[in-house]
Structure 1
């Protein structure tokens, strides 16, 4: 009996070992160097500015991924995207909402091109335009140079009308994988930097590759001068600046790195006055969760990352909520950080400041939109 037991136990151990080392997984991890996290110190010292935010209902959906503001009739309207395909309008006074349309996909980043046309980066379908007065949806592009756009993520528009947007992964498509979160985790875990930044020019209808080699290219924000673009690279905890016009066209640099969390969206913030210069443009960067100590420790260990993918999902490294918005300049100077260490508003993707001083905070998974009355830092 003991021999049978030992044989059976040995067989189970052997099969488990074979599974953990040989079972196919969807990623082929590349080694990379993760800079040691400094945590919540210095510019990122903890605070509770975003604690107790007001919650605004968005209906029977979730994940108000991005926020766009339309100024109208002396006031403004709030627009958000929902993970079930919705584009939703919210009255900031009455907090009533209207579903403008449904794209049929998963709209993420949104930005107004003019008074009526909302440009939408739809993770499942590509780059779209929505007329917010009529609800009409128009597909602008879903391919570039003969390759499909698999994960349109965020979008912004230059003063000349050119639309810039991120294609977060050219290997792990959001629709093919079945969710935006699952696809993002695969791209980041593999770390082969398949993300890219694209442009679409409405004047000729041509889509172009602006830059590639990103470990999950995410948030996109245009500098007001129209010469450069700020791009979030989630997988390396960093923000890049890419020059798309002017004397530095084609140049690219990391303006801030080693952030204490995974950065997601980036949106224009209020102008600030610094000691030697006035009216400096700023940007809000959302950190969707804390960094993963396990992922950093195994950055140079592809085998361990493959092994983790063979574990049950509940045993894999998971995100830890920490509501966190960082305000920076275009050269990466931190102006302030806005936080709620409790993470009560989960997976905050970014923020937009409205004309009345309300900061609207978006989320990947929340069932509400959050906001807090703040005085823009000048």
Structure 2
């Protein structure tokens, strides 16, 4: 009996220690309450289908994570990998080579009028990479002392201005163990510190176009170059923002920023201009009602941050890309409910193929058009 009482006492101490750890162990994020909309599910324009199933594939030679895929002015296909490599290949995947090794993680890129790659590297900042693969940092701060912590996606305007997203002004992947950990901290905190930046390539001077976004992600230009489409991953929406705006807080009701699409069924990632005026959107995961239920419970979200990341309510795998017109109407929707191709972050469209971006895939998936 004495041994049993001792065993119960030890168990109670262990339990008390676990509860104390879950409730009080310090974490870097300070979650705030926010009004999450009720998840719509897969209805209407996003009614379930299997149009993204059974993708054809392109081998990546041991690399993985083609987060962003685009064609260069040389007609080659480029893909940014988890390793920090940017691969270059023919449209069918042949003649694959390493174009550049940034040492970080490129999440988005575009090409300027001179044929140079302009890349948003989450670990380093905004990079310019020559056709020969030579790299230099173009911008890693706003002004003298405001660092770009999480460069994410980029688009180059016809006048040369480079617009890019800084996903979080709080959590840098270089400081917090990578892009995934930094994104978890930012989205669970919901402090909405993401922003859209504009860089003058001649000087490297960078200004804030808009701020107040919960994990600012994909970015694309309107056909007339006057507006930016921006994915706000943490709050399931896509914004249309005046490209000429200066330091606009999107939460303040400015006429220069409006939510084009709200309450998406998943987390939006890359935005890519397609053919015939389309803008392609990738949803890398569906929403999880359990996560939305914690929107008004910042304390419980702080508890979640103390758990192993595998226990987070992230939603089941589900492949999903769709295209919108510039008014936000869905004009195409492709899904794979099985999620065989993991974390679909975007789509790149040509006359005969649709290439699917992915956060973790070991191949590039594509469909004939």
TM-score when normalising by structure 2:
0.93
**For each residue in 1:16-53, what CA deviation from the matched residue of structure 2 results, as whole angstroms up to 9, or x when unmatched?**
22112111112110000110011011110011111111
Q: How far did 1:102 drift?
A: 0.6
Partner of 2:256 in structure 1? 251
Question: 2:287, 2:314 within 8 Å by CA — same for their partners in 1?
Answer: no
Q: How far did 1:315 drift?
A: 2.5
**For each residue in 1:319-348, what CA deviation from the matched residue of structure 2 results, as whole angstroms up to 9, or x when unmatched?**
421111111122211112111111110011
Partner of 2:117 in structure 1? 118
Question: 1:244, 1:250 within 8 Å by CA — same for their partners in 2?
Answer: no
Question: 1:68, 1:112 within 8 Å by CA — same for their partners in 2?
Answer: no
Question: 1:29, 1:191 within 8 Å by CA — same for their partners in 2?
Answer: yes
CA distance in 2, matches of 1:32, 1:94: 44
Partner of 2:27 in structure 1? 25
Q: How far did 1:114 drift?
A: 2.8
Inter-CA distance 126–322: structure 2 relative to 1 (3 Å threshold): same
The count of corresponding residues between Structure 1 and Structure 2 is 359
Question: 1:237, 1:259 within 8 Å by CA — same for their partners in 2?
Answer: yes
- Say whether residues 1:284 and 2:303 are aligned partners: no
Partner of 1:325 in structure 2? 321
Partner of 2:227 in structure 1? 228
Inter-CA distance 94–211: structure 2 relative to 1 (3 Å threshold): closer
Q: How far did 1:71 drift?
A: 4.9
Within the candidate set 18, 38, 41, 2:40 is matched to 38
Inter-CA distance 127–53: structure 2 relative to 1 (3 Å threshold): same
Within the candidate set 131, 139, 142, 1:141 is matched to 139
CA distance in 2, matches of 1:136, 1:115: 14
CA distance in 1, matches of 2:362, 2:110: 21
Partner of 1:361 in structure 2? 356
Inter-CA distance 226–94: structure 2 relative to 1 (3 Å threshold): closer
CA distance in 2, matches of 1:192, 1:42: 31
CA distance in 1, matches of 2:162, 2:237: 22
Q: How far did 1:123 drift?
A: 0.4
**For each residue in 1:233-277, what CA deviation from the matched residue of structure 2 results, as whole angstroms up to 9, or x when unmatched?**
00000000101249x997000000100000000010111xxxxxx
Partner of 1:128 in structure 2? 127
Inter-CA distance 65–94: structure 2 relative to 1 (3 Å threshold): closer
CA distance in 2, matches of 1:159, 1:136: 23
**For each residue in 1:90-133, what CA deviation from the matched residue of structure 2 results, as whole angstroms up to 9, or x when unmatched?**
1124623011121121111011113521110000010011123x
Inter-CA distance 71–357: structure 2 relative to 1 (3 Å threshold): farther
CA-based RMSD: 1.7
Question: 1:159, 1:224 within 8 Å by CA — same for their partners in 2?
Answer: no
Question: 1:226, 1:245 within 8 Å by CA — same for their partners in 2?
Answer: no
- Say whether residues 1:370 and 2:369 are aligned partners: no
Q: How far did 1:203 drift?
A: 3.3
Please list every run of 5 or more consecutive structure 1 residues that lacks an aligned counterpart in the other structure. Answer: 272-280
Q: How far did 1:294 drift?
A: 1.4
Q: How far did 1:5 drift?
A: 2.6
Question: 2:59, 2:93 within 8 Å by CA — same for their partners in 1?
Answer: no
Inter-CA distance 310–131: structure 2 relative to 1 (3 Å threshold): same
Q: How far did 1:204 drift?
A: 3.5
CA distance in 2, matches of 1:148, 1:94: 37
Runs of 4+ more than 3 Å apart: none
Inter-CA distance 13–94: structure 2 relative to 1 (3 Å threshold): closer
CA distance in 2, matches of 1:353, 1:293: 32
CA distance in 1, matches of 2:194, 2:43: 30
Equivalent position SS for 2:72: strand
Equivalent position SS for 2:174: helix
**For each residue in 1:61-97, what CA deviation from the matched residue of structure 2 results, as whole angstroms up to 9, or x when unmatched?**
211111111354xxx3211111111111111246230
Partner of 1:260 in structure 2? 265
Inter-CA distance 349–331: structure 2 relative to 1 (3 Å threshold): same
Partner of 1:68 in structure 2? 70
Partner of 2:160 in structure 1? 161
Please list every run of 5 or more consecutive structure 2 residues that lacks an aligned counterpart in the other structure. Answer: 249-253
Partner of 1:104 in structure 2? 103
